[in-house]
Amino acid sequence: MGDSFWDLSRTAWSLSRRAAAQNPLPPLLLFTDPARTPDPMAAAAALPTGSAVVYRAFGAAEAPEVARELRTLTARRGVRLLIGADAALARAVGADGVHLPERLALRAGPLRRARPGWIITAAAHSLPAARRALAAGADAVVVSAVFPSRSASAGPPLGALRFARLVRAAGGPVYALGGVNMKNARRLLASGAVGLAAVEGLAPGRI
């Protein structure tokens, strides 16, 4: 593991320790992406114990097979597995929960009642969206973009200060996503976030 991984991981665990002691959320989330993490197995294998993978299939035909392989790998390594936007697939492979896009965040409540043991996170691109998702029953929201990002869906970056203000006002646990890497992760130490999330920042060869 290179210095970049140590910096990102150490920052995430520091954030987690500052969060409420009763909060069991993983400090570090790896979001898979078909283009930016073409080998999700290799990316998941590089994560430290206690992290989580958010597998986003985007309708890929091979999603069930990949999800099963990820479940086997993550269970062996002590890493959580969340499935993006597909509760049926999460149930089928025995995942630890789901991640909902912002447009589906209100499903957190029904999912929480149906699967009380699941971790349910939701995307949010604004303070009102974060508050809605948390009020609906999400365990945490993943806010982006915090820093400049190559994601096609990323909007103007919030920056560390505006992100910290959003965290304080959200009313629940918040992860930072979007351009988070070894060079800027430490700028979030005082933000109040529960942890960090990344795509390329946690990809093999970049950590």
For 36-89, the pLDDT digits (tens) are: 889 999 999 999 999 999 999 999 999 999 999 999 999 999 999 999 999 999
Which tens digit of pLDDT belongs to each residue from 77-133?
A: 999 999 999 999 999 999 999 999 999 999 999 999 999 999 999 999 999 999 999
End-to-end CA distance of the chain: 6
Place of tokens 């697939």: 89
**Least confident stretch, 13-17, 106-110, 138-142:** 13-17
Cα–Cα distance for residue pair 141/174, rounded to 1 Å: 5
pTM across the whole model: 0.91
